[in-house]
Structure 1
Amino acid sequence: MIYIVLVCSYSLGETDRFDSFGSILATICFMAFFVLMFYVRGRREDYENKEELERQKKNQENLQSYTDKIVSLYNEVRGFRHDFAGMVTSLSLSIDSGDLEEIKAIHRDVLETANSHLGAEKFTIFELNNIGDNALRSVLMDKAIKAEEYGLNLTLDIKDYIGRLPIQMLDLVRMTNIIFDNALEGAYDSYSKEVVISVIDLPNRYVIVVKNSRKRGELRYEDVYEIGYSTKGRHRGLGLPTVKKIIDNYENILLDTEITKDFFTQVISIEKEGIF
C-alpha cells in the first residue's frame, strides 16, 4: 500500500500543480513506513519474550516432574539396596551349605528378577544427565513425562556426554518437538507402543535417532513430507514439512527417514563444524 502511494506521489510530483503535495505525501509514506517497521519490531520482541516466558514456565514444570520422578526412582533403588543385602546373605548360606539347587533357585528367582527390574525402561531417565544442551534436555524431559502419561515404553540411550548442539535454540526446540511428538503419537497408535531415542557423540558429528513402533499399513516416504498429509486426519501434517524447512536452512544438518513394516525411524545428523 505504501509502495502504491509512493508511486502516486511520484506521479503527482511530476506535475507542477501538485509538486508540493506529492512531496508531502512521499514524506508521510516514509514516516509511515518507519513507524510500521518499529511496530513490527516491537510485536516481534513481545512475541519472543512471551515465547521465552512460556518456555521457562514449561521448563520449570518439567523440572519439577523430573525431580519427583528421580526421587521416586531413588527411593526404589534405595529399597532394593536393602533387599540386596538379604539376597547376598541367602546366597552365601546356600554356598556354604553346598546346596546347588538352592543356589540356582536364588539366582533364577531373585538375582535375575532384580537385574531385569533395574534394567527397566523407567530407569533410563537417568540418561538425561548426559545431555548438556539445556534446550534438548528440556524437550526430552517433557517427552519422557508425556510418554509415561501415554503408557508408552520409552527407552533413552544416551551414553555419551552431549554438549551444546550447533543449531539455533529455537530451531532445535521446534525440530525435536515435532519429531519426538510424532514418535509418541505413532507409538501410541501401535500395538507394542515402543519408542527409542538415542543421542550419540561421534568424532565429527552428533546423531539423534528416534525410532517408534507404528500401526501396520502403507506409509510412503513421499507422503510423509507432503504438506497437509497426516495419518491423524485433516488439517494436520504440517510437522515434518516444517522440520524439512528448518533443516534446509543449515548446511551441517541431514535428516534420514526409514520406514519398515513395524517401525518408523528418523535419524538427524548434525556436523560439529561451526559450533557457536
Structure 2
Amino acid sequence: MIFLYRLTLYTIVMINNLVLFLTISKTQVKPWKILLFFITTIPIIFVVDPYYIILDPIYFLCFSLLIRPNKPLSNHVFYSFLTATITDFTSRLVGFVVLPTLFHQTSEQLTTHMWYVVLVYALVLPFYVFVHYILHIDYNAILVANSEMVSNIYRAMNGTMVLFYILVQTSIFIEHQLPKYTFMEAHHRYIIMYCYVFVFLWGILNLNKVSSRTVAITIDDERRKHYHNLAKYNHYLESLYQEIRDFRNKTSRNLLSFEESIESGDKERIRQDFQEYIQNRQNPFPEQKYYLDKLIHLKISPVKSLISAKLLEAQEKGISVTIEIPDVISTLAMKEIDFIIVLSVFLDNAIEAAMDSHGKRIRLAMFMHDEAVNVIIENSSLVEKINLNQIFASGYSTKGHNRGIGLSNVMKIMNRYPKCSLSTKSSNYTVTQHLTIH
C-alpha cells in the first residue's frame, strides 16, 4: 500500500511539473523522451525522497539541457526552476489554504489522511490554470521578448529562485537528517516562503509586463517598417508607370514621324529615320532597374514590400541586384513577423557587406523544394572568407562593437522552429545564407 501511495504521489508530482514545463517553455517533445524521463526520475525519487532530498528543478534542468541543447544556460535554469517553484507554491496554497477552507478543518487535521497529499497535488494543475487566467501571464511574450531589461529580470529571477531552493531544501534536509546542525526553525522557513511568494509574484508579473511591452514595441516597429516599405514600393510603381507613359508618348511621336518619312517616299530619309527610331534604339527598360516584376510570384504582401524596399535601397547605393522567384510562394511555416525580422537582418547585413566589397552585388532567390520554402541571400564581401564561428555571437560585427546584435537574434528566432534550418557559407569573397522553412 505504501509503495502504491508513493508511486501515485511521485507520478502526479512529475506529471504536474512536466505539463507546466512544456506549457510554459512552449516545448514539444517526442513521447519516447517523456517516457524515458519518467523511467529515469521516478526510481531516483524513490531513493532520495525518504532522506528529504527534493531535486525536482535539477531533474528538469537536465531534461531541458537534453531536449533543448541550443538554448542558453540561463533559459534552462529559468524554466526548470520556475516550473518547480510554481508547483511548490501552488501545492502549498491548495494544501494549507484552499482545501482547509473548503473542508472547514485545519491543515494539520487534513494531513492525517494518507491520501490528502495526493489530492493536493492532483489539484495543482487545475488551480494553476485558474490563477494563470486571473493574472493574465503571457508566456509567449516572455519567450520571444528580447531586451536588456528582460535579460536583467531573467537574471534576477534565476538568482532568487536558485537561492530560495538551496536555502529551503538545505534547511529541510538538515532539520530531518542532521538535527543538531539545524540553522533554521520550521516557522522561520515558512516566513521566508511567505515573503518570497510576494517577491516571486512581483518578478513574474514584472517580467510579463516588460516582455509584453517589448513584443508590442517590436510589432509596432515592424508595422511602421512595413508601411514605409509599402510606401517606397508604391513610389517605385508610380515612377515606373510614369516612365512607361513617357515611353509610350515618345514612341507614338516617333512612329508618326516615321510614317511621314514613308509617305514622303524619300528612301534616304526613311533609312535615317529607321536607324534613329528603331535600329539604334537602346532598351528603355534596363533589367537592373525593372527587376522587381520578378516579385509577382511572391504572394505575401509584407515580405514583398520588405524585399522591394531593401533591394531598391541596395540599388540606390550602387549595388548590383539579382532576384529569382520561380515558384509561387503564398504561405510560410513560420510567423510572418519572425520571418520578416530574419529576412530584414540578412538583407541589412548583405547590403552593408556588399557596400564595403569590391564586387558590390547581392543575389536573392526564393523557391520551393520538397514542400519547403528555400531562401538564399548571397552577397559579395570585402574579405575572402569570414569567421563563421563568431558572426552569430551577440554583439559581434566586423564593423565594430555591438553592430552584430541582429544575427544573434536570428539564432534565437530559429531556435523556436526546430524544423527550419539555416546554413551559412563564406568563400571566394562571397557570403551565402540559405534558410529552409519546413
TM tier, shorter chain?
Answer: 0.7 to 0.9
2:163 pairs with 1:4? yes
Higher helix share: 2
Structure 1 counterpart of 2:58: none
Partner of residue 108 from structure 1, selected from 271, 279, 299: 279
Q: Structure 1 17/187 Cα, relative in aligned 2: closer, same or farther at 3 Å?
A: closer
CA distance in 2, matches of 1:242, 1:146: 23
**How far did residue 76 of structure 1 move?**
0.7
Partner of residue 250 from structure 1, selected from 406, 417, 423: 417
Give the TM-score taking structure 1 as reference length.
0.77
Gaps of 5+ in 1: 272-276
1:85-136 per-residue CA deviation (whole Å, 9 max, x = no partner) reads: 34555667788978678646644321xx1x3x31332222344443222442
Q: Structure 1 204/29 Cα, relative in aligned 2: closer, same or farther at 3 Å?
A: same
CA distance in 2, matches of 1:268, 1:94: 58
2:429 pairs with 1:270? no
Q: Aligned runs of 1:165-184 on 2, under 5 Å? A: 165-184=332-351
Letter in structure 2 aligned against 1:219: K
Q: Aligned runs of 1:52-131 on 2, under 5 Å? A: 52-88=219-255, 103=274, 106-110=277-281, 113=282, 115=283, 117-131=284-298
**How far did residue 26 of structure 1 move?**
0.9
Partner of residue 157 from structure 1, selected from 324, 328, 333: 324
Structure having greater relative contact order (Cα 8 Å, sep ≥ 6): 1
Structure 1 counterpart of 2:128: none
Q: Structure 1 240/35 Cα, relative in aligned 2: closer, same or farther at 3 Å?
A: closer
Number of residue pairs the alignment of both structures matches? 266
RMSD: 3.4
- In structure 2, the residue corresponding to 1:122 is in which secondary structure? coil
Q: Aligned runs of 1:202-213 on 2, under 5 Å? A: 202=369, 204-213=371-380
**How far did residue 200 of structure 1 move?**
1.9
Partner of residue 385 from structure 2, selected from 219, 238, 242: 219
Structure 2 counterpart of 1:44: 211
Structure 2 counterpart of 1:274: none
Q: Structure 1 151/23 Cα, relative in aligned 2: closer, same or farther at 3 Å?
A: same
Instruction: Report if the CA contact (8 A) 2:325-2:367 is conserved.
Output: yes
Instruction: Report if the CA contact (8 A) 1:2-1:29 is conserved.
Output: no
Letter in structure 2 aligned against 1:255: L
Structure 1 counterpart of 2:33: none
- In structure 1, the residue corresponding to 2:186 is in which secondary structure? helix
Higher strand share: 1
Structure 1 counterpart of 2:308: 141
Percent of pairs with identical residues: 24
CA distance in 2, matches of 1:95, 1:160: 46
CA distance in 2, matches of 1:17, 1:225: 50
Q: Structure 1 127/5 Cα, relative in aligned 2: closer, same or farther at 3 Å?
A: same
Q: Structure 1 109/38 Cα, relative in aligned 2: closer, same or farther at 3 Å?
A: same
Letter in structure 2 aligned against 1:109: N
Letter in structure 1 aligned against 2:368: D
Instruction: Report if the CA contact (8 A) 1:131-1:161 is conserved.
Output: yes
After superposing the two structures, state which structure 1 stretch, 70-79 or 58-67, moved more. Answer: 58-67
Q: Structure 1 147/34 Cα, relative in aligned 2: closer, same or farther at 3 Å?
A: same
Structure 1 counterpart of 2:12: none
- In structure 2, the residue corresponding to 1:24 is in which secondary structure? helix
Q: Structure 1 21/51 Cα, relative in aligned 2: closer, same or farther at 3 Å?
A: same
Instruction: Report if the CA contact (8 A) 2:384-2:427 is conserved.
Output: no
- In structure 2, the residue corresponding to 1:121 is in which secondary structure? coil
**How far did residue 82 of structure 1 move?**
1.8
Q: Structure 1 251/52 Cα, relative in aligned 2: closer, same or farther at 3 Å?
A: closer
Structure 2 counterpart of 1:194: 361
- In structure 2, the residue corresponding to 1:206 is in which secondary structure? strand
1:167-200 per-residue CA deviation (whole Å, 9 max, x = no partner) reads: 1334312321221112111211123422222222
Larger Rg, first or second structure (1 or 2): 2
CA distance in 1, matches of 2:421, 2:309: 24
Letter in structure 2 aligned against 1:68: H
Give the TM-score taking structure 2 as reference length.
0.52
Q: Structure 1 231/50 Cα, relative in aligned 2: closer, same or farther at 3 Å?
A: closer
Gaps of 5+ in 2: 1-159, 176-181
After superposing the two structures, state which structure 1 stretch, 92-101 or 234-243, moved more. Answer: 92-101
Q: Structure 1 20/60 Cα, relative in aligned 2: closer, same or farther at 3 Å?
A: same
**How far did residue 256 of structure 1 move?**
3.6
Q: Structure 1 5/211 Cα, relative in aligned 2: closer, same or farther at 3 Å?
A: closer
Instruction: Report if the CA contact (8 A) 1:223-1:229 is conserved.
Output: no
1:39-86 per-residue CA deviation (whole Å, 9 max, x = no partner) reads: 211111111111111121222222222212211111111111222334
- In structure 2, the residue corresponding to 1:161 is in which secondary structure? coil
